[in-house]
Amino acid sequence: MEHKPLLRGSVYRLRRRCGKAGCRCTRGELHESWVFLSREKGVQRLRVVPQGQTARWREWAEDYRRFRRAQRELGRLYREALRLAGELEALRARPPPAA
């Protein structure tokens, strides 16, 4: 079992204008940075990903999504096993023999 971090959120490239007159972004060359978007206590938070860490942060975020998918599938399989156990019980259950 690996002990890599799981990041709950998304990593993506943000492109924006700064609004300064004469800046290259006014000509359409937008400023770019990689950011991490997450929700903490119901509030969305945007953090800049440290330079050179983009691939690692994206991997951690994808690992979290993969973990959540596996968790949902495990829950589905568990519910199915309980349903089948209930059916088996219903098929095998008999009233007590007469005395």
3-state secondary structure the chain: CCCCCCCCCEEEEEEECCCCCCCHHHHCCCEEEEEEEEEECCEEEEEECCCCCHHHHHHHHHHHHHHHHHHHHHHHHHHHHHHHHHHHHHHHCCCCCCC
* Torsion angle defined by CA atoms of residues 59, 60, 62 and 64, in that order, rounded to the nearest 10 degrees: 160
Q: Is 29 within a domain?
A: yes
Q: Is 98 within a domain?
A: no
**Between these two residues, 80 and 18, which has the higher pLDDT value?**
80
> Which residues have a Cβ under 8 Å from the Cβ of 47 and sit 6 or more positions away?
35, 36, 38
Q: Which two tokens stand for residue 74?
A: 């495990």
Indicate the pLDDT class of residue 22, thresholds 50, 70 and 90. Answer: confident
When pLDDT is averaged across residues 62-73 and rounded to a whole number, the result is: 95
When pLDDT is averaged across residues 25-46 and rounded to a whole number, the result is: 92
Indicate the pLDDT class of residue 75, thresholds 50, 70 and 90. Answer: very high
Answer yes or no: is pLDDT of 65 > 70.
yes
Number of domains in the chain: 1
Q: Is 34 within a domain?
A: yes
Q: Is 58 within a domain?
A: yes
Q: Model-level pTM?
A: 0.72
- The domain of 60 spans 10-91
